[in-house]
Chain A
Amino acid sequence: MKVIQMIPTLALGDAVGNDTFALKKVLMDLGYETSIHTHVLDSRLPDSCCEIIIGNQMPEVDEDDVVIYHMSTESRLNFDLETMNCRKIMIYHNITPVEFMKDCSYTIQKHSIAGYAGLKNLVGKIDYCLADSEFNKQDLIKYGYTCPIDVRPILIPLDDYKKKPDSKTIKTYGSDGFTNILFVGRIAPNKKHEDIIAAFAYYNKNVNSKSRLILAGSNSGFENYDAKLKKYAETLGVMDNVIFTGHISFKEILAFYSIASVFLCMSEHEGFCVPLAEAMFFKVPIIAYDACAIPYTLDGSGALIDSKNPVEVALLIDRIVKDEELRNKIIEGQNRRLEDFQYEKVKELFAGYLKDFINKGKA
């Protein structure tokens, strides 16, 4: 019996791609014959890491085999998957809704609409779903999924974060006594970078001028939004203190986390938000807006707020930076939550779900 994974696009540094690679290792550890199959392979990844699906030539499977399908975007696989005569598990990572794409190109909007069309198409054709968060699970139920759905956090190999961070970044941004406010995530409209910039602008101009905002993430595909954010920062007079890193290396990401005073997230659509777990690992206190999967990922830890008022957020940043007792309490809560994302724990959870699913099929 094979347990294979299928994913429309396998990209470098992408949360879904990382989850796929991590799951492959878990499946191999569990003794399953496994492989990854994709339509589009990031050219920065080696050809040997997966099999390429050409057109509608699905991987060969038997009835007893299991396909784990990673659903996060539009793809013809959302329609071709049903032709595979085997058992199917879908891991739902969520799809960014089109309402967040109004300033984007028609192509990007089409991707979102087509993605949800694919999600609807798979209703009744999937045997079992795993959702990254309770938020994602509720999304599936909303779209009519009645098969069993369990919640399983994304597999994050936290040991990788113990690697040596980039010393040049630390020297450049970590040794001048500035308060560094950090957000890690693709430049994309659903992540609401403008709200982070607005809060930072108030903080920098009225509370602490020795502060810096670091927005770590690639703008690929959202160049217009990126340009608008930069113009916004310029208009607010804080562009000199805002760093748009673009795509950076893993070592540089580690470095930014290690010098951050606060992690600020104003996102309005996330399926899980891996950077929150990363901030927890680096003991960076988190301030996050209460939306989508964020309260589920934090589960009471961090500082969850229901306001985007720049004045309120700026004063909260100031409170956390200056109040050591409050900061330590936040970090304590985050440390407890991080335990739930430990690799071995999530691996055991996944293994349990998979074994139950396979055994039910045999019964």
Chain B
Amino acid sequence: MAKHIIGTVDEIPPGERKLVTLEGREIGIFNIRGEFYALRNRCPHQGGALCKGRVSGFVTAKVPGEYEYTRKGEILRCPWHGWEYDIKTGQSWVDPASVRVRSYEVEVAPGTKIEGAEDMAGLMKGPYVAETYPVTVEKTYLLVEI
């Protein structure tokens, strides 16, 4: 288990996302109204790049012909077959009993609060990491532990 700095808060505005590779795993980080969530970029169904899918809401109905659109911006649809996942939990809405995509905690921390920031910045120089971040106290960072 290691914490990785994956970017700064201002890099991912609300409604946006960022894909990173941590220890060989592709992970998508999503900003939903100021809260950050991270999911594995692989759909458990057939392996599609889930985090490149469209973000939508969830349509429900109590009776045929009724359409209620809820949770706008919180549901991720796989770009291949459209399977729906809750970005906040990784829970599938197609087969909730048995399908879940791996989700990760995202920690928001100011540069002043990151313990051993120098070391963690060093960790990010591994072969699988696409980007590195010099940590400064002025900014607020996003950390994912895997």
B is a partner of A: no
List B residues at the A interface (Cβ < 8 Å): none
List A residues at the B interface (Cβ < 8 Å): none
